Protein backbone atom coordinates (compact mmCIF):
# COMPACT_ATOMS: atom_id res chain seq x y z
CA UNK A 1 0.00 0.00 0.00
CA UNK A 2 1.34 3.44 -0.87
CA UNK A 3 1.56 6.17 1.73
CA UNK A 4 -0.18 9.04 -0.02
CA UNK A 5 -2.41 11.29 2.06
CA UNK A 6 -5.45 9.90 0.23
CA UNK A 7 -4.44 6.35 1.16
CA UNK A 8 -4.01 7.36 4.79
CA UNK A 9 -7.40 9.07 4.82
CA UNK A 10 -9.06 6.02 3.29
CA UNK A 11 -7.53 3.46 5.66
CA UNK A 12 -8.15 5.73 8.67
CA UNK A 13 -11.81 6.04 7.72
CA UNK A 14 -12.14 2.29 7.21
CA UNK A 15 -10.44 1.55 10.53
CA UNK A 16 -12.87 3.76 12.45
CA UNK A 17 -15.82 2.26 10.57
CA UNK A 18 -14.58 -1.22 11.41
CA UNK A 19 -14.56 -0.25 15.09
CA UNK A 20 -18.18 0.89 14.91
CA UNK A 21 -19.16 -2.28 13.06
CA UNK A 22 -17.59 -4.32 15.86
CA UNK A 23 -20.01 -2.74 18.33
CA UNK A 24 -18.15 0.28 19.63
CA UNK A 25 -20.20 3.42 20.06
CA UNK A 26 -17.51 5.87 19.07
CA UNK A 27 -14.02 5.75 17.56
CA UNK A 28 -11.22 8.17 16.77
CA UNK A 29 -7.54 8.40 15.91
CA UNK A 30 -4.67 10.36 17.43
CA UNK A 31 -1.11 10.80 16.23
CA UNK A 32 1.87 10.08 18.46
CA UNK A 33 3.31 12.00 20.31
CA UNK A 34 0.09 14.04 20.24
CA UNK A 35 -0.50 17.72 20.86
CA UNK A 36 0.81 19.88 23.71
CA UNK A 37 -2.34 18.87 25.61
CA UNK A 38 -0.77 15.46 26.29
CA UNK A 39 2.17 17.15 28.02
CA UNK A 40 -0.27 19.12 30.18
CA UNK A 41 -2.19 15.95 31.07
CA UNK A 42 1.08 14.25 32.02
CA UNK A 43 2.03 17.17 34.27
CA UNK A 44 -1.43 17.01 35.85
CA UNK A 45 -0.88 13.30 36.55
CA UNK A 46 2.45 14.11 38.20
CA UNK A 47 0.77 16.66 40.49
CA UNK A 48 -2.01 14.24 41.36
CA UNK A 49 0.48 11.53 42.25
CA UNK A 50 2.77 13.86 44.20
CA UNK A 51 -0.22 14.86 46.33
CA UNK A 52 -0.94 11.16 46.95
CA UNK A 53 -4.49 11.57 45.64
CA UNK A 54 -4.29 8.04 44.18
CA UNK A 55 -4.39 6.40 47.61
CA UNK A 56 -3.27 2.77 47.45
CA UNK A 57 -3.50 2.57 43.65
CA UNK A 58 0.29 2.37 43.35
CA UNK A 59 0.15 1.06 39.78
CA UNK A 60 -0.74 4.62 38.74
CA UNK A 61 2.88 5.55 39.48
CA UNK A 62 4.27 3.50 36.58
CA UNK A 63 6.65 5.70 34.59
CA UNK A 64 5.66 3.87 31.39
CA UNK A 65 2.28 5.60 31.63
CA UNK A 66 3.98 8.82 30.51
CA UNK A 67 5.64 7.28 27.44
CA UNK A 68 3.37 5.52 24.98
CA UNK A 69 6.37 4.35 22.93
CA UNK A 70 7.37 2.10 25.84
CA UNK A 71 4.27 0.02 25.11
CA UNK A 72 5.04 -0.56 21.41
CA UNK A 73 8.26 0.25 19.63
CA UNK A 74 7.73 2.42 16.56
CA UNK A 75 4.26 3.55 17.68
CA UNK A 76 2.85 6.28 15.43
CA UNK A 77 -0.93 6.29 15.94
CA UNK A 78 -3.62 5.40 18.48
CA UNK A 79 -7.09 4.10 17.72
CA UNK A 80 -9.36 5.05 20.63
CA UNK A 81 -12.79 3.46 21.07
CA UNK A 82 -15.67 3.87 23.48
CA UNK A 83 -18.16 1.15 24.43
CA UNK A 84 -21.52 2.36 25.74
CA UNK A 85 -22.36 0.20 28.77
CA UNK A 86 -25.68 1.89 29.56
CA UNK A 87 -28.59 -0.56 29.63
CA UNK A 88 -32.25 0.33 30.11
CA UNK A 89 -32.18 -2.23 32.94
CA UNK A 90 -29.53 -0.27 34.91
CA UNK A 91 -31.78 1.01 37.65
CA UNK A 92 -30.38 2.03 41.03
CA UNK A 93 -33.28 4.29 42.00
CA UNK A 94 -34.88 3.52 45.37
CA UNK A 95 -32.70 0.44 45.79
CA UNK A 96 -31.26 -0.53 49.15
CA UNK A 97 -27.99 -1.57 47.51
CA UNK A 98 -26.46 -0.05 44.39
CA UNK A 99 -23.79 -1.16 41.93
CA UNK A 100 -22.05 1.09 39.41
CA UNK A 101 -23.57 0.78 35.94
CA UNK A 102 -20.16 0.06 34.37
CA UNK A 103 -19.97 -3.25 36.22
CA UNK A 104 -23.49 -4.65 35.97
CA UNK A 105 -23.01 -6.55 32.70
CA UNK A 106 -20.18 -8.59 31.23
CA UNK A 107 -16.58 -7.80 32.14
CA UNK A 108 -15.82 -4.82 29.91
CA UNK A 109 -12.13 -5.77 29.73
CA UNK A 110 -13.06 -8.99 27.94
CA UNK A 111 -15.81 -7.40 25.84
CA UNK A 112 -13.54 -4.64 24.55
CA UNK A 113 -10.48 -6.88 24.10
CA UNK A 114 -12.46 -9.34 21.99
CA UNK A 115 -13.73 -6.59 19.70
CA UNK A 116 -10.25 -5.05 19.39
CA UNK A 117 -8.76 -8.45 18.52
CA UNK A 118 -11.24 -8.69 15.66
CA UNK A 119 -10.06 -5.27 14.50
CA UNK A 120 -6.48 -6.56 14.81
CA UNK A 121 -7.28 -9.43 12.45
CA UNK A 122 -8.69 -6.88 10.00
CA UNK A 123 -5.52 -4.78 10.30
CA UNK A 124 -3.40 -7.87 9.56
CA UNK A 125 -5.28 -8.25 6.29
CA UNK A 126 -5.68 -4.61 5.28
CA UNK A 127 -2.42 -3.11 6.64
CA UNK A 128 -0.05 -6.11 6.84
CA UNK A 129 2.99 -3.94 7.60
CA UNK A 130 1.32 -2.47 10.69
CA UNK A 131 2.04 -3.84 14.15
CA UNK A 132 -0.48 -3.24 16.91
CA UNK A 133 -1.00 -3.56 20.65
CA UNK A 134 -4.27 -3.63 22.58
CA UNK A 135 -4.64 -1.61 25.78
CA UNK A 136 -7.71 -1.97 27.99
CA UNK A 137 -7.62 -0.40 31.43
CA UNK A 138 -4.77 -2.43 32.92
CA UNK A 139 -2.05 -1.12 30.57
CA UNK A 140 0.01 1.88 31.75
CA UNK A 141 -1.54 4.40 29.38
CA UNK A 142 -2.99 7.89 29.86
CA UNK A 143 -6.29 6.54 28.60
CA UNK A 144 -8.65 9.47 29.00
CA UNK A 145 -6.03 11.88 27.70
CA UNK A 146 -5.56 9.82 24.52
CA UNK A 147 -9.33 9.43 24.11
CA UNK A 148 -9.64 13.22 24.33
CA UNK A 149 -6.77 13.61 21.88
CA UNK A 150 -8.59 11.24 19.49
CA UNK A 151 -11.72 13.37 19.58
CA UNK A 152 -13.94 10.92 21.48
CA UNK A 153 -14.86 13.53 24.08
CA UNK A 154 -13.37 15.64 26.83
CA UNK A 155 -12.27 15.00 30.40
CA UNK A 156 -14.97 16.42 32.65
CA UNK A 157 -14.67 18.03 36.06
CA UNK A 158 -15.41 14.63 37.64
CA UNK A 159 -12.39 13.24 35.70
CA UNK A 160 -14.58 11.03 33.48
CA UNK A 161 -14.42 11.20 29.70
CA UNK A 162 -17.62 12.80 28.39
CA UNK A 163 -18.98 12.54 24.85
CA UNK A 164 -21.53 15.12 23.71
CA UNK A 165 -23.67 12.31 22.21
CA UNK A 166 -22.96 9.43 24.59
CA UNK A 167 -22.27 11.12 27.90
CA UNK A 168 -19.78 9.43 30.23
CA UNK A 169 -21.32 5.95 30.20
CA UNK A 170 -18.35 4.68 28.21
CA UNK A 171 -15.67 2.07 28.80
CA UNK A 172 -12.54 2.86 26.81
CA UNK A 173 -10.23 0.74 24.70
CA UNK A 174 -7.14 1.48 22.63
CA UNK A 175 -4.96 0.07 19.89
CA UNK A 176 -1.45 1.44 19.51
CA UNK A 177 -0.35 1.19 15.88
CA UNK A 178 2.96 1.48 14.03
CA UNK A 179 1.19 3.02 11.02
CA UNK A 180 0.93 6.75 10.47
CA UNK A 181 -2.76 7.60 10.08
CA UNK A 182 -4.87 10.74 9.75
CA UNK A 183 -5.72 11.99 13.26
CA UNK A 184 -9.03 13.41 14.38
CA UNK A 185 -9.23 16.81 16.00
CA UNK A 186 -8.79 16.74 19.80
CA UNK A 187 -12.06 17.44 21.60
CA UNK A 188 -12.65 20.71 23.43
CA UNK A 189 -14.16 20.81 26.91
CA UNK A 190 -17.89 21.52 27.05
CA UNK A 191 -18.36 21.53 30.82
CA UNK A 192 -18.46 25.32 30.86
CA UNK A 193 -19.54 26.77 34.20
CA UNK A 194 -21.43 23.64 35.25
CA UNK A 195 -20.33 22.30 38.65
CA UNK A 196 -23.12 19.79 39.31
CA UNK A 197 -20.77 16.84 39.72
CA UNK A 198 -18.72 18.77 42.28
CA UNK A 199 -21.79 19.98 44.16
CA UNK A 200 -23.47 16.56 44.35
CA UNK A 201 -20.52 14.52 45.60
CA UNK A 202 -21.51 13.90 49.26
CA UNK A 203 -17.91 13.35 50.42
CA UNK A 204 -16.46 16.29 48.42
CA UNK A 205 -14.05 13.93 46.66
CA UNK A 206 -13.78 16.34 43.70
CA UNK A 207 -11.56 18.74 45.62
CA UNK A 208 -11.22 21.04 42.59
CA UNK A 209 -12.35 20.75 38.97
CA UNK A 210 -10.78 17.66 37.35
CA UNK A 211 -9.06 16.52 40.58
CA UNK A 212 -10.37 13.50 42.53
CA UNK A 213 -9.00 12.75 45.99
CA UNK A 214 -9.31 8.97 46.03
CA UNK A 215 -9.51 8.52 49.79
CA UNK A 216 -12.69 10.62 49.76
CA UNK A 217 -14.26 8.73 46.85
CA UNK A 218 -17.01 6.17 47.49
CA UNK A 219 -16.10 4.20 44.36
CA UNK A 220 -12.49 3.93 45.50
CA UNK A 221 -13.42 2.63 48.95
CA UNK A 222 -15.98 0.09 47.75
CA UNK A 223 -13.68 -1.31 45.04
CA UNK A 224 -10.04 -0.62 45.92
CA UNK A 225 -9.89 -0.22 49.71
CA UNK A 226 -8.42 -3.40 51.24
CA UNK A 227 -8.87 -2.30 54.86
CA UNK A 228 -11.27 -4.21 57.11
CA UNK A 229 -13.37 -1.12 57.73
CA UNK A 230 -14.49 1.86 55.66
CA UNK A 231 -13.72 5.38 56.98
CA UNK A 232 -16.61 6.97 58.87
CA UNK A 233 -16.95 9.90 56.44
CA UNK A 234 -17.43 7.42 53.60
CA UNK A 235 -19.63 5.01 55.57
CA UNK A 236 -22.20 7.65 56.50
CA UNK A 237 -22.47 8.81 52.89
CA UNK A 238 -22.66 5.43 51.13
CA UNK A 239 -26.38 5.80 50.36
CA UNK A 240 -26.59 2.17 49.31
CA UNK A 241 -23.44 1.97 47.19
CA UNK A 242 -21.68 -1.37 47.61
CA UNK A 243 -19.66 -1.41 44.38
CA UNK A 244 -18.68 1.83 42.69
CA UNK A 245 -20.69 5.05 42.68
CA UNK A 246 -22.48 6.89 39.86
CA UNK A 247 -23.60 10.01 41.71
CA UNK A 248 -21.35 12.47 39.87
CA UNK A 249 -22.37 10.93 36.55
CA UNK A 250 -26.09 10.69 37.30
CA UNK A 251 -26.33 14.48 37.71
CA UNK A 252 -24.23 15.35 34.65
CA UNK A 253 -26.36 17.19 32.04
CA UNK A 254 -24.59 15.31 29.24
CA UNK A 255 -25.89 12.01 30.66
CA UNK A 256 -29.57 12.87 30.63
CA UNK A 257 -30.43 11.70 27.09
CA UNK A 258 -27.85 9.04 26.28
CA UNK A 259 -29.14 6.22 24.03
CA UNK A 260 -29.21 2.77 25.61
CA UNK A 261 -27.06 -0.09 24.40
CA UNK A 262 -29.33 -3.02 25.17
CA UNK A 263 -27.06 -5.91 24.20
CA UNK A 264 -26.28 -9.18 25.97
CA UNK A 265 -22.97 -7.62 27.01
CA UNK A 266 -24.61 -4.79 28.98
CA UNK A 267 -27.54 -6.72 30.46
CA UNK A 268 -27.25 -6.75 34.29
CA UNK A 269 -26.76 -10.10 35.97
CA UNK A 270 -29.88 -11.41 37.71
CA UNK A 271 -28.26 -11.40 41.16
CA UNK A 272 -27.33 -7.75 40.64
CA UNK A 273 -30.89 -6.82 39.73
CA UNK A 274 -32.12 -8.59 42.88
CA UNK A 275 -29.32 -7.55 45.23
CA UNK A 276 -30.33 -7.67 48.91
CA UNK A 277 -28.79 -8.32 52.33
CA UNK A 278 -29.44 -12.06 51.95
CA UNK A 279 -26.14 -12.00 50.07
CA UNK A 280 -24.45 -11.73 53.46
CA UNK A 281 -25.17 -15.45 53.74
CA UNK A 282 -23.28 -16.28 50.56
CA UNK A 283 -20.05 -18.18 51.18
CA UNK A 284 -16.89 -17.43 49.20
CA UNK A 285 -17.59 -20.19 46.70
CA UNK A 286 -21.03 -18.75 45.88
CA UNK A 287 -19.56 -15.28 45.51
CA UNK A 288 -16.82 -16.53 43.20
CA UNK A 289 -19.36 -18.33 41.02
CA UNK A 290 -21.55 -15.24 40.65
CA UNK A 291 -18.67 -12.82 40.14
CA UNK A 292 -17.21 -14.92 37.34
CA UNK A 293 -17.34 -13.10 34.01
CA UNK A 294 -17.81 -9.68 35.58
CA UNK A 295 -15.39 -6.88 36.41
CA UNK A 296 -16.78 -7.05 39.98
CA UNK A 297 -14.50 -9.97 40.83
CA UNK A 298 -11.96 -7.31 41.79
CA UNK A 299 -14.07 -6.89 44.93
CA UNK A 300 -13.32 -9.91 47.11
CA UNK A 301 -16.15 -11.72 48.99
CA UNK A 302 -15.06 -10.31 52.37
CA UNK A 303 -15.17 -6.81 50.86
CA UNK A 304 -18.73 -7.34 49.65
CA UNK A 305 -19.74 -8.32 53.18
CA UNK A 306 -17.91 -5.28 54.57
CA UNK A 307 -19.63 -2.94 52.10
CA UNK A 308 -23.09 -4.40 52.72
CA UNK A 309 -22.67 -4.24 56.51
CA UNK A 310 -21.42 -0.64 56.30
CA UNK A 311 -24.61 0.33 54.49
CA UNK A 312 -26.83 -1.56 56.92
CA UNK A 313 -25.01 -0.04 59.88
CA UNK A 314 -25.73 3.41 58.50
CA UNK A 315 -29.45 2.63 58.38
CA UNK A 316 -29.68 1.62 62.03
Q: In a 10 Å sphere around its CB, with 0-12 CB exposed, 13-18 middle and 19+ buried, how is residue 187 labelled? A: buried
CA dihedral 67, 59, 147, 10 (to 10 degrees): 60
CA pair distance 157, 153, nearest whole angstrom: 13
Contacts of 144 (CB under 8 A, 6+ apart): 155, 159, 160, 161, 172
Determine which helix (DSSP H) or strand (DSSP E) holds 47, and give its type and residue range: helix 36-50
* Cα angle 221, 148, 178; round to 5: 110
Q: What angle do CA 311, 313, 316 make, to 5 degrees?
A: 115
Set 7, 129, 137, 215: catalytic member:
137
| 137 a catalytic residue | yes
Instruction: Label residue 269 left, alpha or beta by phi (over 0 means left) and psi (-120 to 50 means alpha).
Output: beta
Helices (H) and strands (E) in the chain, counts: 11, 10
Q: Report the catalytic residues.
A: 137
Amino acid sequence: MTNTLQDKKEISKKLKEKAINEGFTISGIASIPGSSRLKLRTLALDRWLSNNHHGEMKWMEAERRKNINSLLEGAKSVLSVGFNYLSSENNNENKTFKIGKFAQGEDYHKVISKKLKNIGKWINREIPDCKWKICVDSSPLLEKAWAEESGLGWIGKNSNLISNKNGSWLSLGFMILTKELVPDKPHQSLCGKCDKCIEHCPTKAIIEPFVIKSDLCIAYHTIENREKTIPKIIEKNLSGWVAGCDMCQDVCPWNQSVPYNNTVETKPKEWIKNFNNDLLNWNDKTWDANLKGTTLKRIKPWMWRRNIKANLKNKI
